Structure 1
Amino acid sequence: MLCALSGEVPEEPVVSRKTGTVFEKRLILKYIQENGKEPGTDEELDPEDLLDVKTSRVVRPRPPNFTSLPSLLKAFQDEWDALVLDAYNTREQLARTREELATALYQHDAAVRVIARLTKERDEARDALSKVTVAPSAGAASNGDAMAVDNEALPDALAEHVTEVQQQLTQRRREKRPAPEGWASPDEVSAFQKASYSDLSVSQASSLDVESDYAAIGGLDGKVDIYAIGANNVERSLDIGEPVTSTVWTGSKVILGTSKGTVKVFDNGSETASFQVHAGAVTGLAVHPGGRLLASVGVDKSFVFYDLETLQRVSHGYTDSALTACAFHPDGHFFAAGTQSGDIKIFQTADGQQMVSFHLGVPVQALVFSENGYWFAASGKGQQTVTIFDLRKEGAAALVKELETGDAQSLAWDRTGQYLATVGSTGVTVQLYLKKAKAWSEPLRTSVPGTAIAWGAEAKSLVTVNKEGVVSVLKA
């Protein structure tokens, strides 16, 4: 009897109950431990299925071919020949494997080089595009020199609209109106705590905006949830199909910017317009105080204005750096854009011309204007502070205050200009400016982390969302 695994006479033979095959016991037990099946079949085999075979304990004589020196030499020669042939086959397989590996590495290296070249050409093309604008006349470039042309201005009707809104809002501000009746007091804000929270269908939440008692929350998974703040539930979900990077809500319109450069307008849950103007991700959206103009900025170094009544693009401007955030002045006559290079550029809304630039020093992460009309707040990537700038001043004199807020990924100033809310990985803070005392204080600091924040009605609540898609409402 020979073992079915080794082909040798077994020292401790066993036989399978299922197939009657003879095995060496130690070999078949190792095979069962590793595979759980009988060799050569798909049937399961357990050690209990093996029967010991009783054999006589007689010393086996040596085979006749190992009883003389010539026979032993012949056996050794055969073994050596087998080893030489096996080594040759192994070297041959190794050579083939090396050739295949070299070919695969060459193809991978070539693919990486092609991707790198195409990426470089794309970046160069975007950079060139960001610096080129349309000449006002054909004769202006007749000398063959590079053209330097102004940004596009708004159509006359929209420019007049911007001027009218500015005059109305500036006049109201000059009246020095007190805070509206019923507005949250500092004591109420200091008593804020997490009153409710809810899990959203949105994952990797990136942006948030509040309108009345509802919040629109967009995520990088391409979904948007409409969350009812009072009822603490999601009333509607929209599938955008592209990662959402920015969200604003004005009237009945929810407007979304995506990582693919698309700006989508939804009215009462239905898509009414889609713009593909940016050559890269949209990084910020802002609505003009008059409610008619929409602005978007992107990594392609451009800002675009849209008419929300006609749903048309109305102007396009370029800067010298990728744009990361934007905001309209409370009167609407200025438009601010934060850059990757650490500057905040202020443009005239009507003609798109740059008026002044403020230096933050790091890539701008969030940007928001105060209702007082001359302050704006900005936070930078990696900073633990929020910087307050004064529009009326330039250079170092423009820096009003640096607030120790911790990481601030999103900012929200209430409509009275008293409270500045911040949120980031370190939690939520509210910074209070008392105009009479001309001093800052911090009535609230919590450990609720988030990526976006917005004030609720009458500043009596704060709505924040974290990157895991959990929306929280803070109130007294």
Structure 2
Amino acid sequence: MFCAISGAAPARPVVTPRGVLYERSLIVKAIEERGECPVTKESLSVDDLIELKAQKWVNPRPEATMSVPGLLSAFHNEWDALMLETHTLRKELQTTRQELSHALYQHDAACRVIARLMKERDDARDALANAKGSAKRSAAGDAEPESKKVKAGLPAAVVAKMNDVQKELSSGRKKREISSELATMGDISAYEAKVTQAVHKTSPAGINAVAIKAGDDNVIATAGNDHTVAIFDKVSSQRVQQLSGHSKKVLDVKFVGDNVLSCGADKVVKLWGADGSEIATFGDHTGDVTSVSVHPSNSYFVSTSTDKTWGFHDLTTSSCITLVNDDTDSAITCANFHPDGVILGAGTKDSVVKLWDAKDARKLLQLDGHASEITGLSFSENGYYLASAAKDGVKIWDLRKSKLVHEIECAGAQGVAFDHSGSYIATGGHNASVYQVKGKWELVKEFEVKKAVKAVAFGGDARSLVVASADHNLRIFA
């Protein structure tokens, strides 16, 4: 049964009174257009159509797929279409990759240009600062005192003062007894984080050094990567001052009485007053100034630099008395005065610790044993021990025997400090730890810190531990 119009099997078959079979949709259209039967040409209406009740059937497959060769031909066509689509996608992928590579090259070039411009800006700032300092020194002219000029050695008056201070401190140390208020091992093992305070900016984050004011351990100074020195008051748990003047990150900070010394990657040392004003700037180094150490007399200080020199400075005249060149081709990374103020300990980038006679710049002793650059030094108050920190750990040297007597495992050590009594030593690496000095150097407690510890310091009578880390927070455990 096939439709008289289409010749195909109808989906809805209808028949005319004359017995002609049509597909309903087709004959309805024909009647609407002409009003007659397409075959008999007789008049016909939709109401005359008689619908047949027939079973539905599945349309037969196209003849092309009813044989094996037909199927193979169909599969071949499908394969060709798939390969063409794959080729098109590959071309589009290659084009996208080239566009992405071009964009990445442009981004890298932009970053390089920005970095170069920032470096040129910093260099210009440094040059301007040095030019201002030179202009001030030139303005002083010949009227500048002879004591302000850099000399090869220390003046006799300075040496005499250092000797007097040494005698006074040595005799006083023998009479001094350990404070009855000194924290016990049990006290320290019970310490918890009492203060976690942001004192520097989050970008660039990082505190490189910490110092506690002598005689008032409620006042703490920190040196930050954000180019500033922060003064923190422990009683109020607030930053009370922020000293801005360095053009690059600040690497070390020390108290000089009520004043503050700071040094940084901008190659200068700055002296700040108690009110936050800038008193003096020392620009005698040609490289980053890595550390400062104040002489026990509070009249002098030593600075170290990546230019392989250390300088001895007079605070009263704001001048550099002498610059000492190291005899090795290595930057000086840190330094610290012996408690008597005559011996200077210095650490170098090539993993060596050196002891100098500060009075005549004569090297007394070289301590070898570390495998990486020295990151911190601390003398015990009794003057017997020197602790040195490096990425491979902390080493304890007995200066009476000039030998290594103990090693403390401290991965990535960057900070080390004895307490004032010499009874405990704190180390800073991935965490901060406190050890007992006497006996077997027993671990008292380890304090967990989120970021790497850069510096540690004890409060009075070891009643607190101040920790500076690679984030912008100052932590106090007590």
Equivalent residue number for residue 383 of structure 2: 373
Structure 1 residue 313 corresponds to structure 2 residue 317: no
**Residue by residue, what CA displacement relative to the aligned partner does 1:12-71 show, whole Å, maximum 9, x if unpaired?**
xxxxxxxxxxxxxxxxxxxxxxxxxxxxxxxxxxxxxxxxxxxxxxxxxxxxxxxxxxxx
1:432 counterpart = 2:436: yes
2:360 partner SS = coil
Residue equivalent to 1:154? 154
TM-superposed deviation, 1:186: 1.8
Instruction: Map 1:43-58 to 2 at 5 A.
Output: none
SS at match of 1:184: coil
Correspondence for 2:186: 187
Q: Distance in 2 between matches of 1:440 and 1:180?
A: 20
Matching of residue 338 in structure 1 with residue 347 in structure 2: yes
Find the aligned partners of 2:471 and 2:423 in 1 and give their Cα distance: 30
CA deviations 1:309-358 (Å, max 9, x no partner) are: 22221111010221001000011110011011111111111111111111
Q: State the Cα distance separating 1:244 from its structure 2 match.
A: 0.7
Equivalent of residue 455 in structure 1, options 454, 458, 462 = 458
How far did residue 261 of structure 1 move? Answer: 1.1
User: Is the contact between residue 163 and residue 333 of structure 1 (CA under 8 Å) also seen in structure 2?
Assistant: yes
- Give distance in 2, aligned partners of 1:241 and 1:377: 30
**1:453 shift after superposition:** 1.5
CA contact (8 A) 1:433 1:441 kept: yes
Residue 474 of structure 1 is aligned with which of 455, 473, 477?
Answer: 477
- Written as runs of structure 1 = structure 2, the 5 A alignment for 1:161-310 is 161-175=161-175, 177-202=176-201, 203-211=205-213, 212=216, 213-242=218-247, 243-268=249-274, 269-310=276-317
Specify the code of the residue in structure 2 equivalent to 1:196.
Answer: V
Native 8 Å contact 2:282 2:318 kept in 1: no
Q: CA deviation at 1:248?
A: 0.8
1:322 equivalenced with 2:319 (yes/no): no
Provide the C-alpha distance between the structure 1 equivalents of 2:182 and 2:206, rounded to a whole number of angstroms: 33
Flag structure 1 segments of 5+ consecutive residues without an equivalent.
Answer: 1-100, 116-150
1:20-169 to structure 2, matched below 5 A, reads 152-169=152-169
Q: Which amino acid aligns with 2:243?
A: L
Which residue of structure 2 aligns with residue 137 of structure 1?
none
Q: Distance in 1 between matches of 2:189 and 2:243?
A: 35
1:187-237 deviation digits (Å, cap 9, x = unpaired):
111111111211123432211111121111111221121111121111111
User: 3-state DSSP class of the match of 1:246?
Assistant: strand
**Structure-1 separation of matches of 2:200 and 2:379:** 31
Q: Tell me how far apart the structure 2 counterparts of residues 263 and 399 of structure 1 sit (CA, whole Å).
A: 33
Letter in 2 for 1:290: S
Q: Percent identity?
A: 28
Contact in 1 for aligned 2:384/2:400 (Cα 8 Å): yes
Give the distance between the partners of 2:431 and 2:354, measured in 1 at CA. Answer: 28
CA distance in 1, matches of 2:369, 2:316: 35
The C-alpha deviation readout for 1:92-121, integer Å capped at 9, x for no partner, is: xxxxxxxxx9xxx9xx9xxx9xx9xxxxxx
- Tell me the SS of whatever aligns to 2:197: strand
Give the corresponding residue for 1:420: 425
Secondary structure, in 3 states, of the residue corresponding to 1:451?
strand
- Which whole-Å CA distance do the structure 2 matches of 1:472 and 1:273 have between them? 30
Structure 2 unaligned blocks of 5 or more: 1-104, 120-150
Report the equivalent of 1:82.
none
Shift of 1:402: 0.4
Cα shift at 1:170 = 1.2
Report the alpha carbon displacement of residue 272 of structure 1 after superposing the two structures with TM: 0.6
* Alignment partners' CA distance in 2, 1:241 and 1:288: 23
The answer to whether 1:410 aligns with 2:415 is: yes
Q: Does residue 389 of structure 1 match 2:389?
A: no
Provide the C-alpha distance between the structure 1 equivalents of 2:173 and 2:460, rounded to a whole number of angstroms: 20
Q: Determine helix, strand or coil for the equivalent of 1:376.
A: strand
In structure 2, relative to structure 1, the CA distance for the partners of 1:180 and 1:227 (3 Å cut) is same
| Deviations 1:414-470 (CA, angstroms, capped at 9, x unpaired) | 11111111112x211001122xxx332111112124212111122100111222211
Q: How many residues end up aligned between the 2 structures?
A: 320
Whether the aligned pair in 1 keeps the contact of 2:200 and 2:224 (CA below 8 Å) is: no
**Cα distance in 1, alignment partners of residues 381 and 359 from structure 2:** 20
Taking the aligned partners of 1:193 and 1:236, their CA distance within structure 2 comes to 26
In 1: Cα distance, 2:411 partner to 2:266 partner: 31
Query: Quick one: which amino acid aligns to residue 157 of structure 2?
Result: A
Rounded Cα–Cα distance in structure 2 between residues aligned with 1:265 and 1:374: 31
Paired residue type of 1:351: D
Q: TM-score, normalised by structure 2?
A: 0.64
SS in structure 2 at match of 1:439: coil
Shift of 1:406: 3.3
- In structure 1, what is the equivalent of residue 56 of structure 2? none
SS in 1 for 2:474: strand
8 Å contact 1:286–1:328 — kept in the other structure? yes
Q: How does 1:346-357 map to 2 (within 5 A)?
A: 346-357=355-366
Q: Which moved more, 1:252-261 or 1:401-410?
A: 401-410
The 8 Å contact of residues 152 and 352 in structure 1, kept in 2 or not, is answered as no
Paired with 1:230 and 1:169, the residues of 2 have a C-alpha distance of: 31
Q: Which residue in 1 is equivalent to 2:447?
A: 446
Structure with greater Cα Rg:
2
